[in-house]
A and B are shown apart, each in its own frame.
Chain A
Amino acid sequence: METENKSIRRDALEKLFSQWLAGGKRILAPKKIGDKIDFAAVTSLAEVSRDHVQTVQSPKTSVFPRVEELFSFKSSDGRVQIRERNGASLGETVVFGLRPCDAAAYASLAAIFTWDNPDSLFSARLAKTTVIGVSCARADEYCFCTAVGGGPGATAGSDILLTDLGSGEYLAEIVSEKGRQTVQATPGQFLPAAGKEKENRLAKVDPAFALDKIAPALAVLFDDAAFWEEQSRRCLGCGACAYVCPTCACFDIQDEGGVSGQRLRCWDSCGFSLFTLHTSGHNPRALQSQRWRQRLMHKFAYMPERQQVLGCVGCGRCSRACPVDMNILEHLRAIAEAKP
């Protein structure tokens, strides 16, 4: 559908929160927890952080929980009974106040989970998630959304994108059918936009590298072991980048609870040496440099080719979280400018 512009006042937004909660919806929003801002369940607009650039964790748990039960099983006398999860019984979630980069990340996740055999639990969660983004008035040196097709006021992935216009008023861009349903479900709260503009409210993020140079460069650089050794020299293989990433979706499957337990899907990372280790001891990606290469190739070469979507939205979280200060932006610039 075509994006429709409306406006909404802060007190009306507060009413939306009450309605969502009354309707049994969970609201996930950026909240100050200790010295961090992170997504957490909130019950009022007042709890939602407004002055942060970016949360530590992404909101991907809304569709891809860190640990998720796929089904449970019960064994007795060599017989097994499986109890399936029912996607239809999952609750509804409103993810409120996420940045446009995080909203864009849902498309990357959906590409992975539904590109061929659709994953029913992921699809059920996505269908029950409403995404209310808030555009960025500020950015920091780690942000690079504009280099990967996004922007501080980009609407892609949001059902409704809010932009703070000051004086307690927001521009509300109604982007999707789900966004329109949200408007219809709360009559009188959304008002005509009346020519209000967001452009002068948005952070300035200059494109940090030429995206069109990345995939061709990666294709040539794959076998350049020295290049990847140099790129990954500091990498500890800790996996922090993958855990904070809004698009990383690699997972492990583990059983827990003995013969009557659960099969779980858990976050994993291509940065871990155990990720690809064969039982025989052979490891196709035995070196950290090969694992770092995999991370970049997957996001910037394989996903665009196989799933027609980038695996990166430029949120900068991996760089902020890295304990040895590897900044993905510098690595991508080096790739774009490499002369193999």
Chain B
Amino acid sequence: MSEADILKPCLLKIEAVIDETPDVKTLRLVFMDEQEGKNFTFRTGQFGEYSVFGEGECTFCIASPPTRTGYIECTFRKAGRVTSALADLEPGETIGFRGPYGNIFPIHEWEKKNLLFIAGGIALPPMRSVIWNVLDLRERFKDITIVYGARTVADLVYKRELAEWAERPDVRLITTVDPGGETPDWKGEIGFVPAVLDKAAPAVASRETVAVVCGPPVMIKFTFPVLAKLGFAPESIFTTLENRMKCGVGKCGRCNVGRYFVCKDGPVFTFAQLKEMPQEY
């Protein structure tokens, strides 16, 4: 990245808008400048600063995998000023993008291992990038299990992709909704993610399994003990942190967890690292 450009965004055109839930959308984005698009590379786990001009910037992981080129996708819940403005945009309109920033999921170190993905609610998008990344390189990994839960059936994101994963013989998908969140025709599990994970304990030796956990703090809090019980070493459990950010490049001062910048040293951390870090996330 050139020195002149660190806070100046590229321009992206919205190619498609996908409604995931009543308040969650996915945008498919292409670079307005063809050369900029060709030069753009990222690795799974990295994030960007997306902007609606006149409203401001907000931070999301890149939700598409680096194995699919020519576009990037982001998925967000309409919540604040910028995401509300983003949600109002239509195909053809222009947004700003800075990135990619941050570190990566080290999937090259996960080859020949089993992978266990555990996500809750709106935390599937950062994990969707790495899930498609490993599925696009499927032969390099052993068993792949995805445990995904949301409060209600309506809150499950990427429903078409969940259906696609459910049909794949090389993926084990377990979906669950919180008690009371089910619909009459719901065929998945009913229960909180940690309990469902405990019950469906992967029938794979955890020493050869890497776990990736993404979700609200309460889900993470109750998932780590289950993984510890299953025999996962803290070094084999990965997560991605989402502290508030402005600059994304280690200067604005707000995303730090102790001495660590989530924007530079993260967002991907292992549970072993989190245990050494102060509770500032």
A222 neighbours in B (Cβ, 8 Å)? 258, 278
B92 neighbours in A (Cβ, 8 Å)? 78
Report if B181 contacts A (CB, 8 A): no
A302 close to B256 (CB less than 8 A): yes
In the assembled complex, the Cα of A115 lies from the Cα of B256 at a distance in Å of: 15
In the assembled complex, the Cα of A117 lies from the Cα of B49 at a distance in Å of: 15
Say which residue of A223, A253, A255, A298 sits within 8 Å of B7 (CB atoms).
A253
Residue from A259, A263, A268 with most neighbouring chain B CB atoms (10 Å): A263
Given contacts A78-B93, A82-B11, A306-B259, contact A123 B3 (CB under 8 A): yes
Q: How many residues of B contact A (CB 8 A)?
A: 44
B96 neighbours in A (Cβ, 8 Å)? 80, 82
A302 close to B6 (CB less than 8 A): no
A47 neighbours in B (Cβ, 8 Å)? none
What's the nearest-Cβ distance from chain B to residue A107, in Å?
16
B53 close to A73 (CB less than 8 A): yes
A113 neighbours in B (Cβ, 8 Å)? 251
B252 close to A253 (CB less than 8 A): yes
The A241-258 residues at the B interface (CB cut-off 8 A) are 249-255, 257-258
B53 neighbours in A (Cβ, 8 Å)? 73, 75, 80, 255, 259, 261, 263
B55 neighbours in A (Cβ, 8 Å)? 255
B253 close to A270 (CB less than 8 A): yes
B1 close to A117 (CB less than 8 A): yes
B254 close to A250 (CB less than 8 A): yes
Given contacts A301-B259, A302-B259, contact A276 B254 (CB under 8 A): yes
- Which secondary structure dominates where chain B touches chain A? loop
B8 close to A71 (CB less than 8 A): yes
In the assembled complex, the Cα of A75 lies from the Cα of B93 at a distance in Å of: 10
In the assembled complex, the Cα of A104 lies from the Cα of B264 at a distance in Å of: 27
B1 neighbours in A (Cβ, 8 Å)? 117
What's the nearest-Cβ distance from chain B to residue A119, in Å?
6
Report if A79 contacts B (CB, 8 A): yes
B3 close to A282 (CB less than 8 A): no
Known A82-B9, A251-B251, A275-B254; further 13 A-B contacts with Cβ < 8 A: A82-B8, A116-B249, A119-B251, A120-B3, A120-B4, A120-B5, A257-B54, A261-B53, A270-B254, A276-B244, A277-B244, A284-B243, A297-B258
Sampled A-B contacts (16; CB under 8 Å): A78-B93, A113-B251, A223-B278, A249-B253, A250-B254, A251-B246, A251-B247, A251-B251, A251-B253, A253-B57, A254-B56, A259-B54, A268-B252, A270-B254, A277-B244, A284-B257
Residue numbers of A with Cβ under 8 A of B are 70-71, 73, 75, 78-80, 82, 84, 87, 112-113, 115-120, 123, 222-223, 249-255, 257-261, 263, 265, 268, 270, 275-280, 282, 284-285, 290, 294, 297-298, 301-302, 305-306
Nearest 7 A-B pairs (CB), nearest first? A250-B253, A78-B93, A80-B94, A259-B54, A279-B80, A117-B249, A279-B79
